[in-house]
Structures are given as C-alpha cells and as structure tokens.
Amino acid sequence: MDETTVRGLLADALTDEPPMGAVTQHALRAGLRIRRRRRLLAAGGTVAALAAVGLSLTIAGPASGHPALPALGPAEHTVYAVDESGGTITPVTPGRGTLGRPIRTGRDVVASAFSPDGKTFYAVSFATGKLTPVDVSAGAAGRSIKVGRGAGAIAITPDGRTAYVANEFSGTVTPVDLAHGTAEPPIRAGAMPRAIVITPDGRTAYVLNQATDNPRRGSVTPVTIATGRPGRPILVGRNPLSMAITPDGKTLLVANNGVGGPGGRPTDDASVTPIAIATNTAGKPIPTGRPYTGSFAFTPDSRTAYLPVFYSDTVITIKLATMTIGKPIRVGASVSAVAITPDGKTAYVVSRGSVTPVDTATGTAGKPIRVPGPALSIVVSPDGRTVYVGSYRPGKLITIPTAANRVSRIVQVGKTGPITVAVGP
C-alpha cells in the first residue's frame, strides 16, 4: 500500500460519519510517519523500491521566496537547524556552524518559514497541527496556534501580516493573523493540499492538490488573498508533489511525478506543468521522463530551473524562456536537493554522501565534496559565502565555505531524524 492510499484512508477516517475509531486513525497516522521516514532513507540510498511521493523537507529562506525587508544587511543572516523528529529548532552561528540552545516547537516539524523582516521564525508541527512562532532575537518560542489536521506547508504574505498553512487531512488552508497570533476560518482549497506558495505581489496563494476526481490529474487552487475565496482549480499532471514561482514572478511550475517503478524508472506521465500567473492557465506539460523529482531551484535571472531526481544521479534542467528540457547534469548517486548561490554562478547538488558544485554557465559538475550522509537538505546563505547541509540518522549540520568548497564544521543536532537547514535574512 503506497502513501497516497494511506493518506486517503486517513482522510476518510477523519471525515466519515460515523467516524472510524481512534485506534484506526492512530494506526494510519503511524503508517504515514513510517512511510515518511522510509522515504527519507530511500532518498539517501539505503532503502530501494519504495513508492515515494517526495521528501518531507522544507528549506526555508525569506518567507515564500520573496525579497526580505531591509532589516539586516546582506552579510547578516539567521540560521536554524530544524530537527524534524525531535521537534526542536536550534540557532546556528552564521558562517561558523556552532549551535545555540535548542528551542522546542512541537513534534514532526515538517515546514518552516521566516517572516519577511527576519525577526520571527515559524515552525509547523505535523503531529499537533499547530504553528509556533519563535522570536529570533530572544531565542524563545511563543504561544502555539492551532491550525488544522495534517498541517504540512506554510507560506507568508510579503507584508508579513498573514501566514497560510495547508492542512492535508482537512482539505483546507488556514490563514493566521500573525500580529494577533490567531487562526482565521479555514478555506476549502481542494483535496489533500500538500504545498502552498504566494505570488510576489501578495495577491494570490496557490495551493497544490495531490488528489482530484480524475485519478490521472492533480490540481492547483488559486486563492484570492483579499477575499479568502478559492478560484477554479487548474488541472495539472498526475501525482503533483512540488511547485515554485519563478524569480520573475510570472510562472508557477508544478512537478508531476506520475507513476514510476522502483529505482526511478522512466514513466510516461512524469512532467512539469507551467502555469501563467497573469491568467491562471496551464501551459503544455514538459515531459521529464523521470518520476520522484524534488523541489525546484532557480537561477536568479529566471533563465534556468533545476529539479533533482531522487533514486538517480541526475538533475533535470529546464530552460524557462522556451519551457524545454535542457542538458541533464549527472552528479553523485541518490540526488535529493539543489541550492543556487545568489550570484547564480554555482548550483550545489546534494547526493548520498556528497555535495557537488555545478557551474551553471556550462552545466559542468565540479569535484564532489564528501559529507557524512545521507545528506538531504541544503541552503546557501544570503551573502553567498556559506553552504549549510542537513543530514539524517543521526541528524547533523554541515558547514561548507564556498570560497574553499571544503567542509569546515560538522555538528550533531538530532539523534535519528532528518535535519532541515533554514536560513533567513
């Protein structure tokens, strides 16, 4: 039984009348947790032949990928190491990689984001369905806010006033008034919402729905932020699992994983769907030929998108001007994530036991940097001087100065869970 089936059963368990018993619901939730752990291990190359549906990792930069307000200079930034299993976040000394005092935010921290001014860090707990704010300067957690069942994704408006949290089991998105710390009435936004992004102008939130009435199609639901009303769903491909807005704010890209076999075997319906934000219309799907893709990374000039392919040694490139597949880049086995430097010159690709720098101008892979693995998450600091990598079992934070492209520090953060690296302004 794959994860999509389990999630469907749990959704039924939570909504049926009369509802399924607590024991059944508990068993289904436990099954989801096990599958999430197995999926992370599989991406690290230690487990094969799993029907994975994407990593439960969120790489948090300035909220929703929007430019930060001028609170900190370009050389100043805040770093947190997020221990998903332990339910803690730990401040990290920028550049040095030394750890501060852990802050408890709730079990299964599966999503996180900084406020645009960099003063507050928000952590979403899948297990409790709560959003917890953390005061960056004080290093203390505030009062948690109840959002919904299966909370698993967050986006914050560019003005920093409202957070939107996608609740996978409820089929809703919960707006949160951040100034008052209160949840507003949830918005019905399609079945199984897995991700959410907000346009740079703050007008629209896009919600990714893994399930629709058509088993071969997923959808994206636009929500008008001013009114809180969902619009007509935009149909995309089968099993959509990640999406992102291009840096120029014109296009939403949706990665459709289709249905593939063990080891990332090619599939006919794996694709990327481009959606024109001005008209909310889907363009012609871009065939990728490979399922199990991860999260998008973009060059700052909006020319190229990078999409890692789990279970493989390949990163797919997409030429955004023509919406066509470019030359694939081969690096180490079991690719899991990509991060690009602010100047757009280098892409760093995480694979099973290494981080490989790639020259974006030529698509040439450089010498791999060995790291303890499996490594899973990666971000580049806003000043471009440091790469931070999170690994799994035990969870470790790895610091790599970009000037040397060598590991300078490794510190243990968690015991068994994945470490997500979050960098804000």
Strands 364-365 and 419-424: unpaired
Q: Using a pLDDT cut of 70, give the percent of the chain over it.
A: 80
Q: What is the mean pLDDT of the chain?
A: 82
Structure-token match 């992004």, residue found = 197
CA R_g for the chain: 20
Give the whole-angstrom CA distance, residue 269 versus residue 259.
7
Q: What is the pLDDT of residue 193?
A: 92
> Alpha-carbon torsion 271, 208, 108, 61, what sign?
positive
Query: Is the previous residue joined to 200 through a cis bond, with omega within 30 degrees of 0?
Result: no
pTM score, whole prediction = 0.82
Q: Using a pLDDT cut of 90, give the percent of the chain over it.
A: 60
Closest by CA to 302, choosing from 62, 58, 65, is 65
Helix axes 3-15, 22-43, angle to 10 degrees: 160
Q: Which residue has the higher pLDDT, 329 or 86?
A: 329
Q: What is the pLDDT of residue 346?
A: 98
- Span 222-237, average pLDDT: 95
pLDDT category at 417 given cuts 50, 70, 90 is: confident
The alpha carbon of 202 is separated from its chain's Cα centroid by a whole number of angstroms, namely 20
pLDDT category at 237 given cuts 50, 70, 90 is: very high
Taking residue 385's Cβ as centre, other Cβ atoms within 10 Å add up to 16
Structure-token match 């921290």, residue found = 109
Q: What is the pLDDT of residue 85?
A: 84
- Span 126-141, average pLDDT: 94
In terms of Cβ atoms closer than 10 Å to its own Cβ (0-12, 13-18, 19+), residue 410 is: middle
Give the whole-angstrom CA distance, residue 84 versus residue 93.
20
Give the whole-angstrom CA distance, residue 11 versus residue 15.
6
Total residues belonging to the chain: 425
Judge contact between 33 and 108, C-beta under 8 A: yes
Read off the tokens for 14: 């939570």
Say which range, 37-51, 187-201, 202-216, 247-261, has the weakest mean pLDDT: 37-51
- Span 349-360, average pLDDT: 94
The predicted-structure confidence for 377-386, as pLDDT tens digits, reads as follows: 999 999 999 9
> For the chain, what is the HEC assignment?
CCHHHHHHHHHHHHHCCCCCCHHHHHHHHHHHHHHHHHHHHHHCCCCCCCCCCCCCCCCCCEHHHCCCCCCCCCCCCEEEEEECCCCEEEEECCCCCCECCCEECCCCEEEEEECCCCCEEEEEECCCCEEEEEECCCCEECCCEECCCCEEEEEECCCCCEEEEEECCCCEEEEEECCCCEECCCEECCEEEEEEEECCCCCEEEEEEEECCCCCCCEEEEEECCCCEECCCEECCCCEEEEEECCCCCEEEEEECCCCCCCCCCCCCCEEEEEECCCCEECCCEECCCCCECCCEECCCCCEEEEEECCCCEEEEEECCCCEECCCEECCCCCCEEEECCCCCEEEEEECCEEEEEECCCCEECCCEECCCCEEEEEECCCCCEEEEEEECCCEEEEEECCCCCCCEEEECCCCCEEEEEEEC
Phi/psi of residue 77, each to 5°? -160, 165
The predicted-structure confidence for 86-109, as pLDDT tens digits, reads as follows: 889 999 998 888 999 999 998 889
Give the whole-angstrom CA distance, residue 317 versus residue 338.
11
Judge contact between 112 and 97, C-beta under 8 A: no
The predicted-structure confidence for 265-324, as pLDDT tens digits, reads as follows: 555 678 999 999 999 999 999 998 888 888 999 999 999 999 999 888 999 999 999 999
Q: Which residue has the higher pLDDT, 57 or 181?
A: 181
Q: What is the pLDDT of residue 213?
A: 75
